[in-house]
Protein backbone atom coordinates (compact mmCIF):
# COMPACT_ATOMS: atom_id res chain seq x y z
CA UNK A 1 0.00 0.00 0.00
CA UNK A 2 2.73 2.38 1.06
CA UNK A 3 4.81 1.56 -2.00
CA UNK A 4 1.85 2.18 -4.26
CA UNK A 5 1.25 5.62 -2.73
CA UNK A 6 4.90 6.58 -3.06
CA UNK A 7 4.74 5.52 -6.69
CA UNK A 8 1.69 7.70 -7.35
CA UNK A 9 3.29 10.72 -5.65
CA UNK A 10 6.53 10.18 -7.58
CA UNK A 11 4.66 10.04 -10.88
CA UNK A 12 2.71 13.19 -10.01
CA UNK A 13 5.80 15.11 -8.91
CA UNK A 14 7.81 14.10 -11.95
CA UNK A 15 4.91 15.02 -14.20
CA UNK A 16 4.50 18.43 -12.62
CA UNK A 17 8.19 19.14 -12.45
CA UNK A 18 8.93 18.12 -15.99
CA UNK A 19 11.78 15.87 -14.99
CA UNK A 20 13.56 13.99 -17.75
CA UNK A 21 14.24 14.70 -21.41
CA UNK A 22 11.67 16.53 -23.49
CA UNK A 23 11.17 16.41 -27.26
CA UNK A 24 12.97 19.75 -27.44
CA UNK A 25 16.13 18.05 -26.15
CA UNK A 26 16.30 15.71 -29.12
CA UNK A 27 19.16 16.33 -31.55
CA UNK A 28 18.24 18.08 -34.78
CA UNK A 29 15.26 19.77 -33.17
CA UNK A 30 14.70 23.52 -33.32
CA UNK A 31 12.10 25.27 -31.19
CA UNK A 32 11.17 28.90 -31.90
CA UNK A 33 9.32 31.43 -29.77
CA UNK A 34 7.49 34.59 -30.85
CA UNK A 35 7.21 33.64 -34.51
CA UNK A 36 3.99 32.79 -36.30
CA UNK A 37 3.26 31.73 -39.85
CA UNK A 38 0.37 33.94 -40.92
CA UNK A 39 1.45 34.23 -44.55
CA UNK A 40 4.00 33.26 -47.18
CA UNK A 41 6.66 35.56 -45.72
CA UNK A 42 6.91 33.06 -42.89
CA UNK A 43 5.93 29.76 -44.47
CA UNK A 44 8.10 30.14 -47.56
CA UNK A 45 11.17 31.08 -45.55
CA UNK A 46 10.71 28.17 -43.14
CA UNK A 47 10.26 25.94 -46.17
CA UNK A 48 13.60 27.13 -47.54
CA UNK A 49 15.29 26.09 -44.31
CA UNK A 50 13.48 22.77 -44.20
CA UNK A 51 14.47 22.03 -47.78
CA UNK A 52 18.11 22.76 -47.02
CA UNK A 53 18.02 20.83 -43.74
CA UNK A 54 15.47 18.04 -44.06
CA UNK A 55 16.98 16.28 -41.06
CA UNK A 56 15.99 19.11 -38.72
CA UNK A 57 12.63 19.04 -36.96
CA UNK A 58 11.59 22.72 -36.88
CA UNK A 59 8.94 23.37 -34.26
CA UNK A 60 7.32 26.76 -34.72
CA UNK A 61 5.73 27.80 -31.45
CA UNK A 62 2.97 29.91 -33.01
CA UNK A 63 1.94 33.10 -31.26
CA UNK A 64 3.25 36.54 -30.59
CA UNK A 65 6.32 37.14 -28.47
CA UNK A 66 5.54 37.13 -24.77
CA UNK A 67 8.20 38.72 -22.60
CA UNK A 68 7.11 36.89 -19.47
CA UNK A 69 7.06 33.52 -21.23
CA UNK A 70 10.49 34.11 -22.72
CA UNK A 71 12.23 35.31 -19.57
CA UNK A 72 10.61 32.61 -17.46
CA UNK A 73 11.93 30.04 -19.91
CA UNK A 74 15.44 31.51 -19.77
CA UNK A 75 15.33 31.70 -15.97
CA UNK A 76 14.16 28.10 -15.76
CA UNK A 77 17.02 27.09 -18.09
CA UNK A 78 14.44 25.78 -20.53
CA UNK A 79 14.61 28.36 -23.31
CA UNK A 80 13.64 27.88 -26.94
CA UNK A 81 16.43 27.61 -29.51
CA UNK A 82 15.40 30.85 -31.18
CA UNK A 83 13.48 33.91 -30.18
CA UNK A 84 11.78 36.37 -32.50
CA UNK A 85 11.03 39.72 -30.93
CA UNK A 86 11.07 43.48 -31.39
CA UNK A 87 14.62 44.69 -31.93
CA UNK A 88 14.19 47.28 -29.19
CA UNK A 89 13.55 44.53 -26.66
CA UNK A 90 16.35 42.30 -27.90
CA UNK A 91 18.81 45.12 -27.33
CA UNK A 92 17.63 45.19 -23.74
CA UNK A 93 17.97 41.42 -23.37
CA UNK A 94 21.46 41.58 -24.81
CA UNK A 95 22.44 44.09 -22.15
CA UNK A 96 20.98 41.77 -19.52
CA UNK A 97 22.68 38.66 -20.86
CA UNK A 98 19.49 36.84 -21.85
CA UNK A 99 20.57 36.27 -25.46
CA UNK A 100 23.86 35.05 -26.94
CA UNK A 101 26.26 37.02 -29.05
CA UNK A 102 26.05 36.05 -32.72
CA UNK A 103 29.59 37.13 -33.57
CA UNK A 104 30.84 33.54 -34.01
CA UNK A 105 27.70 32.53 -35.88
CA UNK A 106 28.00 35.46 -38.27
CA UNK A 107 31.70 34.78 -38.85
CA UNK A 108 31.26 31.06 -39.34
CA UNK A 109 28.52 31.50 -41.94
CA UNK A 110 30.15 34.41 -43.69
CA UNK A 111 27.21 36.74 -43.11
CA UNK A 112 27.87 40.18 -44.53
CA UNK A 113 26.48 42.47 -41.86
CA UNK A 114 26.90 45.34 -44.31
CA UNK A 115 23.82 44.03 -46.12
CA UNK A 116 21.67 44.97 -43.15
CA UNK A 117 20.33 48.46 -42.66
CA UNK A 118 22.48 50.33 -40.21
CA UNK A 119 19.67 51.54 -37.93
CA UNK A 120 18.26 48.03 -37.60
CA UNK A 121 21.63 46.49 -36.87
CA UNK A 122 22.47 49.14 -34.29
CA UNK A 123 19.38 48.16 -32.30
CA UNK A 124 20.67 44.63 -31.78
CA UNK A 125 24.29 45.58 -31.16
CA UNK A 126 25.50 45.89 -27.59
CA UNK A 127 29.05 46.94 -26.71
CA UNK A 128 30.22 46.22 -30.24
CA UNK A 129 28.79 42.70 -30.43
CA UNK A 130 25.81 41.63 -32.52
CA UNK A 131 23.07 39.78 -30.64
CA UNK A 132 20.39 39.45 -33.29
CA UNK A 133 19.83 39.44 -37.04
CA UNK A 134 17.19 41.97 -38.11
CA UNK A 135 14.15 40.68 -39.97
CA UNK A 136 11.37 43.02 -41.17
CA UNK A 137 11.84 46.80 -41.22
CA UNK A 138 9.03 49.29 -40.83
CA UNK A 139 9.27 52.99 -41.34
CA UNK A 140 6.79 55.81 -40.80
CA UNK A 141 5.31 58.05 -43.47
CA UNK A 142 2.55 60.63 -43.71
CA UNK A 143 -0.67 59.36 -45.27
CA UNK A 144 -2.88 62.19 -46.48
CA UNK A 145 -6.52 61.88 -47.43
CA UNK A 146 -6.70 63.78 -50.74
CA UNK A 147 -10.49 63.91 -50.87
CA UNK A 148 -10.90 65.35 -47.39
CA UNK A 149 -8.09 67.85 -47.91
CA UNK A 150 -9.28 69.06 -51.31
CA UNK A 151 -12.86 69.36 -50.06
CA UNK A 152 -11.52 71.81 -47.49
CA UNK A 153 -9.59 73.69 -50.16
CA UNK A 154 -6.21 72.35 -49.08
CA UNK A 155 -3.66 71.11 -51.61
CA UNK A 156 -2.32 67.77 -50.26
CA UNK A 157 1.12 68.70 -51.57
CA UNK A 158 1.17 71.63 -49.17
CA UNK A 159 0.69 69.49 -46.05
CA UNK A 160 3.86 68.77 -44.12
CA UNK A 161 5.20 68.55 -40.61
CA UNK A 162 7.97 71.07 -41.30
CA UNK A 163 6.20 74.20 -40.13
CA UNK A 164 4.51 73.38 -36.85
CA UNK A 165 2.56 76.64 -36.74
CA UNK A 166 1.22 76.09 -40.24
CA UNK A 167 0.23 72.52 -39.34
CA UNK A 168 -1.63 73.76 -36.27
CA UNK A 169 -3.49 76.30 -38.43
CA UNK A 170 -4.30 73.56 -40.91
CA UNK A 171 -5.76 71.46 -38.10
CA UNK A 172 -7.99 74.35 -37.09
CA UNK A 173 -9.11 74.75 -40.67
CA UNK A 174 -9.80 71.05 -41.30
CA UNK A 175 -11.35 70.24 -37.97
CA UNK A 176 -14.97 69.10 -38.21
CA UNK A 177 -17.32 67.08 -36.04
CA UNK A 178 -16.80 63.40 -36.82
CA UNK A 179 -13.42 63.97 -38.44
CA UNK A 180 -9.86 63.94 -37.17
CA UNK A 181 -7.92 66.54 -39.11
CA UNK A 182 -4.46 65.37 -38.09
CA UNK A 183 -3.62 62.55 -35.73
CA UNK A 184 -0.09 63.07 -34.33
CA UNK A 185 -0.08 59.45 -33.09
CA UNK A 186 1.25 60.20 -29.66
CA UNK A 187 2.43 58.85 -27.34
CA UNK A 188 3.72 56.05 -29.59
CA UNK A 189 5.27 58.39 -32.19
CA UNK A 190 6.88 60.75 -29.68
CA UNK A 191 10.39 59.60 -30.72
CA UNK A 192 9.60 60.82 -34.25
CA UNK A 193 8.30 64.21 -33.09
CA UNK A 194 11.25 64.63 -30.73
CA UNK A 195 13.69 63.77 -33.49
CA UNK A 196 11.92 66.26 -35.75
CA UNK A 197 12.62 68.80 -33.05
CA UNK A 198 16.30 67.88 -33.05
CA UNK A 199 16.64 65.41 -30.21
CA UNK A 200 17.00 61.63 -29.79
CA UNK A 201 14.66 60.34 -27.12
CA UNK A 202 17.03 57.64 -25.90
CA UNK A 203 20.27 59.14 -24.71
CA UNK A 204 18.80 62.55 -23.98
CA UNK A 205 16.98 63.71 -20.88
CA UNK A 206 13.24 63.27 -21.25
CA UNK A 207 12.76 66.73 -19.74
CA UNK A 208 14.96 68.30 -22.41
CA UNK A 209 13.19 71.48 -23.58
CA UNK A 210 13.00 70.13 -27.13
CA UNK A 211 11.23 66.99 -25.94
CA UNK A 212 8.92 69.07 -23.78
CA UNK A 213 8.15 71.29 -26.76
CA UNK A 214 7.29 68.24 -28.91
CA UNK A 215 4.99 66.94 -26.18
CA UNK A 216 3.32 70.31 -25.75
CA UNK A 217 2.83 70.74 -29.49
CA UNK A 218 1.34 67.32 -30.18
CA UNK A 219 -0.91 67.48 -27.11
CA UNK A 220 -2.08 70.89 -28.29
CA UNK A 221 -2.95 69.44 -31.71
CA UNK A 222 -5.14 66.91 -29.93
CA UNK A 223 -6.68 69.55 -27.66
CA UNK A 224 -7.66 71.62 -30.70
CA UNK A 225 -9.54 68.61 -32.02
CA UNK A 226 -11.81 68.22 -29.01
CA UNK A 227 -9.41 66.96 -26.37
CA UNK A 228 -8.05 63.52 -25.73
CA UNK A 229 -11.14 61.77 -24.36
CA UNK A 230 -13.38 62.41 -27.35
CA UNK A 231 -10.47 62.33 -29.85
CA UNK A 232 -9.44 58.87 -28.68
CA UNK A 233 -12.99 57.56 -28.35
CA UNK A 234 -13.69 58.66 -31.92
CA UNK A 235 -10.44 57.12 -33.19
CA UNK A 236 -11.37 53.85 -31.51
CA UNK A 237 -14.40 53.62 -33.79
CA UNK A 238 -12.25 53.47 -36.95
CA UNK A 239 -12.36 50.30 -39.00
CA UNK A 240 -8.60 50.31 -39.51
CA UNK A 241 -8.35 47.07 -41.46
CA UNK A 242 -11.59 47.19 -43.38
CA UNK A 243 -12.84 48.47 -46.69
CA UNK A 244 -14.59 51.27 -44.77
CA UNK A 245 -11.42 52.56 -43.13
CA UNK A 246 -11.11 56.15 -41.95
CA UNK A 247 -9.57 57.34 -45.24
CA UNK A 248 -12.50 55.94 -47.21
CA UNK A 249 -15.15 57.34 -44.88
CA UNK A 250 -13.42 60.71 -44.59
CA UNK A 251 -13.13 60.41 -40.80
CA UNK A 252 -9.41 61.12 -41.00
CA UNK A 253 -7.58 63.75 -43.04
CA UNK A 254 -3.95 62.96 -42.24
CA UNK A 255 -1.65 61.07 -39.91
CA UNK A 256 1.82 59.58 -39.77
CA UNK A 257 1.67 55.80 -39.93
CA UNK A 258 3.83 52.70 -40.26
CA UNK A 259 4.66 51.66 -43.82
CA UNK A 260 2.81 48.32 -43.57
CA UNK A 261 -0.44 50.26 -43.70
CA UNK A 262 0.13 51.00 -47.38
CA UNK A 263 -0.37 47.33 -48.15
CA UNK A 264 -3.49 47.26 -45.97
CA UNK A 265 -4.98 50.23 -47.80
CA UNK A 266 -3.99 48.86 -51.21
CA UNK A 267 -5.56 45.50 -50.46
CA UNK A 268 -8.75 46.59 -48.69
CA UNK A 269 -9.52 49.92 -50.32
CA UNK A 270 -7.46 50.06 -53.53
CA UNK A 271 -9.30 53.07 -54.92
CA UNK A 272 -8.98 55.34 -51.90
CA UNK A 273 -7.34 58.61 -52.90
CA UNK A 274 -4.34 59.17 -50.64
CA UNK A 275 -0.96 60.84 -50.89
CA UNK A 276 2.08 59.27 -49.27
CA UNK A 277 4.61 61.85 -48.14
CA UNK A 278 7.64 61.76 -45.89
CA UNK A 279 7.41 63.01 -42.33
CA UNK A 280 9.78 65.97 -42.17
CA UNK A 281 11.76 67.61 -39.42
CA UNK A 282 11.45 71.33 -38.72
CA UNK A 283 14.06 72.11 -41.36
CA UNK A 284 12.10 70.22 -43.99
CA UNK A 285 14.37 67.19 -44.16
CA UNK A 286 12.64 63.82 -44.59
CA UNK A 287 12.69 61.84 -41.40
CA UNK A 288 11.52 58.42 -40.36
CA UNK A 289 11.89 55.95 -37.55
CA UNK A 290 12.70 52.34 -38.24
CA UNK A 291 11.45 49.46 -36.17
CA UNK A 292 10.89 45.77 -36.58
CA UNK A 293 11.82 42.35 -35.33
CA UNK A 294 15.01 40.35 -35.12
CA UNK A 295 16.04 36.76 -34.53
CA UNK A 296 18.23 35.87 -31.58
CA UNK A 297 19.48 32.82 -29.71
CA UNK A 298 18.58 32.74 -26.00
CA UNK A 299 21.10 31.99 -23.30
CA UNK A 300 20.97 28.25 -22.60
CA UNK A 301 19.57 27.29 -26.03
CA UNK A 302 19.98 23.55 -26.60
CA UNK A 303 20.94 23.74 -30.27
CA UNK A 304 22.78 27.04 -30.85
CA UNK A 305 24.52 25.81 -34.02
CA UNK A 306 21.28 24.78 -35.66
CA UNK A 307 19.66 27.98 -34.45
CA UNK A 308 22.46 29.97 -36.04
CA UNK A 309 21.90 28.23 -39.37
CA UNK A 310 18.18 28.92 -39.11
CA UNK A 311 18.42 32.65 -38.46
CA UNK A 312 21.08 33.08 -41.12
CA UNK A 313 18.78 31.36 -43.61
CA UNK A 314 15.71 33.32 -42.57
CA UNK A 315 17.40 36.69 -43.05
CA UNK A 316 19.34 35.84 -46.19
CA UNK A 317 18.55 37.86 -49.33
CA UNK A 318 17.82 34.76 -51.45
CA UNK A 319 15.36 33.48 -48.82
CA UNK A 320 13.60 36.84 -48.70
CA UNK A 321 13.25 36.88 -52.48
CA UNK A 322 11.77 33.37 -52.40
CA UNK A 323 9.29 34.44 -49.73
CA UNK A 324 8.40 37.64 -51.57
CA UNK A 325 7.76 35.67 -54.74
CA UNK A 326 5.52 33.23 -52.91
CA UNK A 327 3.63 36.13 -51.35
CA UNK A 328 3.20 37.88 -54.69
CA UNK A 329 1.92 34.70 -56.34
CA UNK A 330 -0.54 34.04 -53.52
CA UNK A 331 -1.93 37.58 -53.78
CA UNK A 332 -2.02 37.39 -57.57
CA UNK A 333 -4.12 34.23 -57.31
CA UNK A 334 -6.68 36.34 -55.44
CA UNK A 335 -6.38 39.17 -57.96
CA UNK A 336 -4.65 41.44 -55.46
CA UNK A 337 -1.54 43.59 -55.88
CA UNK A 338 1.74 42.90 -54.13
CA UNK A 339 3.24 45.99 -52.53
CA UNK A 340 6.63 44.52 -51.76
CA UNK A 341 8.21 43.35 -48.56
CA UNK A 342 10.14 45.80 -46.42
CA UNK A 343 13.04 44.00 -44.80
CA UNK A 344 16.07 45.06 -42.84
CA UNK A 345 18.26 43.45 -45.50
CA UNK A 346 19.12 46.11 -48.07
CA UNK A 347 20.20 43.61 -50.74
CA UNK A 348 16.96 41.68 -50.32
CA UNK A 349 14.90 44.86 -50.68
CA UNK A 350 16.73 45.88 -53.83
CA UNK A 351 16.00 42.55 -55.45
CA UNK A 352 12.41 42.32 -54.21
CA UNK A 353 11.47 45.74 -55.54
CA UNK A 354 13.33 45.16 -58.79
CA UNK A 355 12.30 41.57 -59.52
CA UNK A 356 9.14 40.78 -57.55
CA UNK A 357 7.21 43.98 -56.77
CA UNK A 358 3.86 43.80 -58.56
CA UNK A 359 1.54 46.76 -57.82
CA UNK A 360 -0.83 45.81 -60.69
CA UNK A 361 -1.63 49.43 -61.32
CA UNK A 362 -2.52 50.23 -57.71
CA UNK A 363 -1.88 53.93 -57.24
CA UNK A 364 -1.27 53.73 -53.50
CA UNK A 365 1.58 51.31 -54.04
CA UNK A 366 2.97 52.86 -57.19
CA UNK A 367 3.26 56.26 -55.54
CA UNK A 368 3.80 55.25 -51.92
CA UNK A 369 6.38 52.51 -52.14
CA UNK A 370 9.10 54.68 -53.76
CA UNK A 371 8.64 57.15 -50.88
CA UNK A 372 9.16 54.39 -48.33
CA UNK A 373 12.18 53.00 -50.14
CA UNK A 374 13.78 56.42 -50.33
CA UNK A 375 13.45 56.76 -46.58
CA UNK A 376 14.76 53.35 -45.57
CA UNK A 377 18.41 54.24 -45.36
CA UNK A 378 17.75 57.60 -43.73
CA UNK A 379 15.79 56.06 -40.88
CA UNK A 380 16.81 56.42 -37.28
CA UNK A 381 16.05 53.82 -34.63
CA UNK A 382 15.75 53.98 -30.89
CA UNK A 383 19.11 53.13 -29.41
CA UNK A 384 19.20 49.92 -27.38
CA UNK A 385 18.89 50.34 -23.65
CA UNK A 386 19.04 47.84 -20.80
CA UNK A 387 15.86 49.43 -19.49
CA UNK A 388 14.08 49.81 -22.83
CA UNK A 389 10.60 48.82 -21.66
CA UNK A 390 10.79 51.09 -18.61
CA UNK A 391 11.99 54.05 -20.70
CA UNK A 392 9.12 53.66 -23.14
CA UNK A 393 6.70 53.35 -20.27
CA UNK A 394 8.14 56.47 -18.64
CA UNK A 395 7.78 58.74 -21.65
CA UNK A 396 4.45 57.32 -22.74
CA UNK A 397 3.16 57.85 -19.21
CA UNK A 398 4.39 61.43 -19.33
CA UNK A 399 2.65 62.15 -22.62
CA UNK A 400 -0.54 60.50 -21.36
CA UNK A 401 -0.59 62.74 -18.31
CA UNK A 402 -0.34 65.78 -20.58
CA UNK A 403 -2.98 64.50 -23.00
CA UNK A 404 -5.41 63.93 -20.16
CA UNK A 405 -4.68 67.35 -18.71
CA UNK A 406 -3.32 66.10 -15.41
CA UNK A 407 0.13 67.63 -15.73
CA UNK A 408 1.92 70.33 -17.67
CA UNK A 409 4.40 69.10 -20.29
CA UNK A 410 7.29 70.31 -18.09
CA UNK A 411 6.09 68.46 -14.98
CA UNK A 412 5.09 65.35 -16.87
CA UNK A 413 8.40 64.93 -18.61
CA UNK A 414 10.34 65.81 -15.46
CA UNK A 415 8.53 62.96 -13.73
CA UNK A 416 9.21 60.72 -16.74
CA UNK A 417 12.89 61.59 -16.49
CA UNK A 418 12.95 60.67 -12.80
CA UNK A 419 11.26 57.35 -13.57
CA UNK A 420 13.72 56.65 -16.38
CA UNK A 421 16.68 57.44 -14.14
CA UNK A 422 15.38 55.10 -11.46
CA UNK A 423 14.94 52.31 -14.02
CA UNK A 424 18.43 52.81 -15.42
CA UNK A 425 19.92 52.93 -11.92
CA UNK A 426 18.22 49.66 -11.03
CA UNK A 427 19.52 47.91 -14.13
CA UNK A 428 22.95 49.46 -13.79
CA UNK A 429 23.14 48.37 -10.18
CA UNK A 430 22.92 44.69 -11.15
Partner 1 sequence: MTGRAGWWFLLPWIVGFLAFTAGPMAFSLWLSLNHYDMLEPPEYVGLDNYREALTDDRVGTALWNTLFFTALHVPSQVVLALALAGLLRRAGRAAGFFRTVVYLPVMTPPVALAALFLLLLNGQNGAVNAFLGWFGFTGPNWTTDPVWIKPGLVVMSLWTVGSTAVLYLAALTRVPPERYEAARLDGASPWRQFWHVTLPGISGTVYFTVVVNTIASLQVFTEAYTMFFGARGKQSGEGDAALFYVIHLFREAFESLRMGYASALAWGLFVVIAVVTAVQVRLSRRYVHYEGER
- Is 290 or 313 the residue whose CB approaches partner 1 more closely? 290
Among positions 67, 115, 213, 378, the unique one binding partner 1 when judged by CB under 8 A: 67
Smallest gap from residue 96 Cβ to partner 1 (A) = 5
Q: Is 220 in the site for partner 1 (CB under 8 A)?
A: no
- Is 13 or 26 the residue whose CB approaches partner 1 more closely? 13
Mark 229-268 with x for binding to partner 1 (rule: CB under 8 A) and - for no binding. Answer: xxxxxx-xx-------------------------------
Among positions 62, 108, 188, 239, the unique one binding partner 1 when judged by CB under 8 A: 188
Q: What is the 3-state secondary structure (H, E, C) of the chain?
A: CHHHHHHHHHHHHHHHHCCCCCHHHCCCEEEEECCCCCCHHHHHHHHHHHHHCCCCEEEEECCCCCHHHHHHHHHCCCCCCEEEEEHHHHHHHHHHCCECCCHHHHHHCCCCHHHECHHHHHHCEECCEECCEECECECEEEEEEHHHHHHCCCCHHHCCCCCHHHHHHHHHHHCECCEECCCCCCCCCHHHHHHHCCCCCCCCCCCCHHHHHHHHHHHHHHHCCCCHHHHHHHHCCCCCCCCCCHHHHCCECEEEEECHHHHHHHHHCCCCCEEEEEEECCCCCEECECECEEEECECCCCCHHHHHHHHHHHCCHHHHHHHHHHHHHHHHHCCCCECCCCECEHHHHHHHHHHHCECCCCHHHHHHHHHHHHHHCCCECCCCCCCHHHHHHHHHHHHHHHHCCCCCHHHHHHHHHHHHHHHHHHHHHC
Smallest gap from residue 406 Cβ to partner 1 (A) = 6
Smallest gap from residue 237 Cβ to partner 1 (A) = 5
The partner residues of 289 in beta bridges, in order of sequence, read 380
Q: Is 153 left (phi over 0), alpha (psi -120 to 50) or beta?
A: left
- Is 89 or 346 the residue whose CB approaches partner 1 more closely? 89
User: Exposure of 178 by Cβ count < 10 A (0-12 exposed, 13-18 middle, 19+ buried)?
Assistant: exposed
Smallest gap from residue 353 Cβ to partner 1 (A) = 29
- Is 210 or 299 the residue whose CB approaches partner 1 more closely? 299
Restricting to residues 3-22, name those near partner 1 by CB under 8 A.
Answer: 9, 16
Among positions 187, 304, 359, 368, the unique one binding partner 1 when judged by CB under 8 A: 187
Smallest gap from residue 89 Cβ to partner 1 (A) = 10
- Is 72 or 244 the residue whose CB approaches partner 1 more closely? 72
- Is 306 or 412 the residue whose CB approaches partner 1 more closely? 412
Judged by CB under 8 A, which stretch of 108-116, 168-176, 222-230, 301-309 contacts partner 1? 222-230
Judged by CB under 8 A, which stretch of 182-190, 263-271, 302-310, 376-384 contacts partner 1? 182-190
Q: Is 150 in the site for partner 1 (CB under 8 A)?
A: no
Q: Is 132 in the site for partner 1 (CB under 8 A)?
A: no
Judged by CB under 8 A, which stretch of 109-117, 128-136, 304-312, 396-404 contacts partner 1? 396-404
Among positions 71, 113, 373, 424, the unique one binding partner 1 when judged by CB under 8 A: 71
Query: How big is the site for partner 1, counted in residues (CB under 8 A)?
Result: 39
87 — phi, psi (to 5°)?
-60, -40
Whole-angstrom Cα distance, residue 102 to residue 87? Answer: 14
Q: Is 100 in the site for partner 1 (CB under 8 A)?
A: no
Q: Is 127 in the site for partner 1 (CB under 8 A)?
A: no
Smallest gap from residue 427 Cβ to partner 1 (A) = 8
Residues that bind partner 1 in the complex, under the rule CB under 8 A: 9, 16, 67-68, 71-72, 74-75, 96-98, 186-188, 228-234, 236-237, 299, 389-390, 393, 397, 399-401, 403-404, 406, 415, 423, 426, 429-430
Amino acid sequence: MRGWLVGVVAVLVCGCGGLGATPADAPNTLVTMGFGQPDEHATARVAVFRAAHPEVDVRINEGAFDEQQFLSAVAAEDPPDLVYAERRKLGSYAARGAVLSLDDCVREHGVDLGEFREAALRQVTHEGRVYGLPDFAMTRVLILNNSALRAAGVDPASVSTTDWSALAELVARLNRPKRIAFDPKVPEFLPLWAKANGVDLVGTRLDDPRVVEAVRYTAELVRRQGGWASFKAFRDTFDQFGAQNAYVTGQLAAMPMESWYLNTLATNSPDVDVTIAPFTDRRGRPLTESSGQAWAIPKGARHPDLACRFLVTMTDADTWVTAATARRDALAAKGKPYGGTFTANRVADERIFREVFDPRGNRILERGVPQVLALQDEAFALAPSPAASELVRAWEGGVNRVLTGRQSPEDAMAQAQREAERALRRVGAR
